[in-house]
């Protein structure tokens, strides 16, 4: 089999762990598998590099920032290949431009466009284990890019798709995909099999165990993903096409996201074209808006509330302040300390009453809902950040996610 494996930051967090990962890869090799291994930076390294940059200047150049943060993965790739050679296995480490893994030029959130596989195939044919630095790419103009936080997952799945690998294994610090973040909900249950679609919603709603784009890639190219622990040999979670053997559950998981901020515009003229005048400049500033709610008032004006990534909060405030006078907006206010709590499940399609139960549970715990959004298979509520854990645990309990069979 040709297997692409990815080891996350904690799994390669120190030399002892790198040695252990090398040992695991060696066992696979002994079984006759061809292996391409993608690594993240050692845990904490990407944050350390980002902190250095922001300590130096508040607004570092995106090009140089990518050049800086991409180095973490180069270190772990080189160390892992060394560790493999040290125990007698042929291995070769690469950074993205050597492959090359080509991306667009959107620094910090580049998209993979093309992966050349010739070099990897040649190395595999010669008996090498190929180690690739995750999270990075090279633009058409030869600049180093990065794919966004958690992007090594995407490198791995994209490589698996390009190489038509039999399997993509994501090794991380938990035993698979759980019904909620196991670090917040001790009773969370490991899900054995989950569809791409549900996984995509879980990832989009904050379950960072898989990066969103990696799931998109897997879904488009039909790459089976096995999410599992790098510290045990227990099977983890298979992320695959939806099939009949999957648990028919109403709700498959509860997620949270603390990376957004809310902005509210009071007294916006309720006229055609106003929303475009507000969200046009926000889009031009490269800010991605998530939820939007507009409520009409009896006085012919409207209140408009929306969420943006927390890192873009100040920038977004400035943008709306620029159009405040022009549009005659009465007041602008916002809150950075919010959290979005969501429940996800394919079973919701056919069952009414899930949303009302969610609202009821939050109400019983005295948690005020600031915003609501729904899709076919998820419901999200924006709440005060300080209630995040309470809300996630309460919802997990109320929907009986700790036991495999839920009443429908
Ligand atoms: P890695 O460094 O291996 O990429 P990450 O920290 O990016 O690891 O992702 C793994 C983490 O995702 C876990 O430690 C866990 O806290 C978090 N997580 C959030 N939601 C879930 C979930 N539903 N199932 C499993 N892990 C989750
Ligand atoms: N090292 C990068 C990060 O911390 C990419 C990854 O770990 O997947 O976001
Ligand atoms: Mg990750």
With bands split at pLDDT 50, 70 and 90, how would you rate the model's confidence at 349? confident
Q: Which residues contact 49 (CB under 8 A, 6 or more apart)?
A: 68, 69, 71, 72
Of all ligands present, the nearest one to the C-alpha of 38 is: 2
Question: Is the shortest distance between the CB of 170 and ligand 1 below 6 Å?
Answer: no
Q: Report, as an integer, the average pLDDT of 351-376.
A: 93
* Per-residue burial over 29-58, b = 16 or more CB atoms within 10 Å of its CB, e = otherwise: beeebbbbbbbbbbbebbeebbeebeeeee
What pLDDT is attached to residue 403? Answer: 86
Structure tokens at 53: 């940059």
Q: Where are the domains of the chain?
A: 2-173, 244-408
pLDDT recorded at residue 268: 95
Ligand 2 proximity of 13 Cβ (cutoff 6 Å): no
pLDDT band at 353 (very low <50, low <70, confident <90, very high): confident
- Residue 247: band (very low, low, confident or very high) from pLDDT cuts 50, 70, 90: low
User: Closest ligand 1 atom, CA of 43?
Assistant: 2
Query: Which residue owns the Cα nearest ligand 2 atom 8?
Result: 150
pLDDT at 249: 75
1, 27, 35: which is closest to 127 by C-alpha? 35
Q: 149-204, pLDDT tens digit by residue? A: 999 999 999 999 999 999 999 999 999 999 999 999 999 999 999 999 999 999 99
The answer to whether residue 348 scores a pLDDT higher than 90 is no
Give CA separation, 54 vs 65, 109, 155, in Å: 10, 18, 26
Q: At residue 219, does pLDDT exceed 60? A: yes
Quick check: do 2-173 and 244-408 share a fold?
no
CA–CA distance, 11 with 363 (Å, rounded to integer): 40
pLDDT interval class at 245 (50, 70, 90): low
Closest atom of ligand 2 to CA, residue 149: 9
The ligand minimizing its distance to the Cα of 156 is 2
Residues 343, 348, 354, 355, CA torsion sign: positive
Relative to the alpha carbon of 50, which ligand is closest?
2
Which is it for strands 2-7 and 112-115: parallel, antiparallel or unpaired?
Answer: unpaired
Q: What is the mean pLDDT of the chain?
A: 95
Q: What integer pLDDT is reported at residue 351 of this predicted model?
A: 81
For ligand 1, say whether the CB of 9 is within 6 Å of any of its atoms: yes
> In this structure, are residues 334 and 355 in contact, taking their beta carbons and an 8 Å threshold?
no
Ligand 1 near 180 CB (within 6 A)? yes
Residue closest via CA to ligand 2's atom 6 equals: 150
Percent pLDDT > 70 in the chain is 98
CB of 349 shorter than 6 A to ligand 1: no
- CA pair distance 338, 381, nearest whole angstrom: 10
Alpha-carbon distance of 4 to 353, in angstroms, equals: 42
At 122, which helix (H) or strand (E)?
helix 118-125
- Rounded distance between C-alpha atoms, residue 159 and residue 357, angstroms: 42
C-alpha span between 267 and 230 (Å, rounded): 53
Share of the chain above pLDDT 90, in %: 90
Q: Is the CB of 134 under 6 A from ligand 2?
A: yes
**Does the domain formed by 244-408 have CATH 1.10.3470.10?**
no
Evaluate: CB of 41 within 6 angstroms of ligand 2.
Answer: yes
Residue of 244 and 175 predicted with greater confidence = 175
Closest CA to ligand 2's atom 4? 46
- Which CATH entry fits the domain spanning 2-173: 3.40.228.10, 3.90.550.10, 3.40.1160.10, 3.40.50.720? 3.40.1160.10
Which residue's CA is the nearest one to ligand 1's atom 18? 181
The residue contributing the CA closest to ligand 1 atom 1 is 8
* Range in 38-52, 345-359, 377-391 the model is least confident about: 345-359
């Amino acid at each position: 089999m040709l297997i692409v494996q990815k080891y996350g930051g904690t799994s390669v967090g120190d030399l002892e762990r790198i040695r252990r990962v090398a040992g695991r890869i060696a066992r696979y090799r002994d079984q006759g598998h061809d292996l391409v291994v993608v690594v993240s930076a050692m845990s904490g390294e990407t944050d350390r590099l980002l902190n250095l940059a922001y300590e130096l200047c508040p607004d570092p150049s995106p090009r140089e920032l990518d050049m800086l943060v991409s180095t973490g993965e180069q270190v772990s790739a080189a160390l892992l290949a060394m560790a493999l050679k040290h125990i007698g296995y042929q291995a070769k480490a690469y950074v993205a431009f050597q492959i090359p893994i080509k991306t667009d030029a959107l620094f910090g959130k580049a998209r993979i466009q093309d992966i050349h596989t010739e070099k990897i195939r040649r190395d595999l044919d010669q008996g090498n284990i190929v180690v690739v630095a995750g999270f990075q790419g090279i633009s058409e103009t030869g600049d180093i890019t990065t794919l966004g936080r958690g992007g090594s997952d995407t490198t791995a799945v994209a490589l698996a798709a390009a190489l038509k690998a039999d399997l993509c294994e994501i090794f991380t610090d938990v035993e698979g995909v759980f019904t909620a973040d196991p670090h917040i909900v001790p009773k969370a249950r490991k899900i054995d099999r989950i569809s791409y679609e549900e996984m995509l919603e879980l990832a989009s709603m904050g379950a960072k165990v898989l990066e969103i784009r990696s799931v998109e890639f897997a879904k488009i190219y039909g790459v089976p993903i096995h999410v599992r622990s790098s510290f045990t040999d227990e099977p983890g979670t298979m992320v695959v096409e939806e099939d009949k053997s999957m648990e028919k559950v109403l709700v498959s998981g509860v997620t949270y996201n603390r990376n957004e901020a809310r902005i509210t515009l009071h007294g916006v003229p309720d006229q055609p074209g106003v929303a475009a005048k507000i969200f046009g400049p926000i889009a031009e500033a490269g800010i991605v808006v998530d939820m939007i709610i507009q409520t009409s008032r009896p006085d012919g004006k409207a209140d408009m509330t929306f969420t943006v990534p927390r890192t873009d909060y100040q920038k977004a405030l400035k943008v709306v302040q620029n159009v405040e006078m022009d549009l005659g907006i009465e007041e602008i206010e916002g809150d950075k300390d919010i959290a979005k709590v969501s429940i996800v499940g394919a079973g919701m399609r056919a069952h009414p009453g899930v949303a009302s139960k969610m609202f009821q549970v939050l109400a019983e715990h005295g948690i005020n809902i600031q915003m609501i959004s729904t899709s076919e298979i998820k419901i999200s509520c924006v709440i005060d950040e300080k209630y995040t854990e309470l809300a996630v645990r309460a919802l997990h309990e109320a929907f009986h996610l700790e036991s495999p069979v839920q009443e429908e």
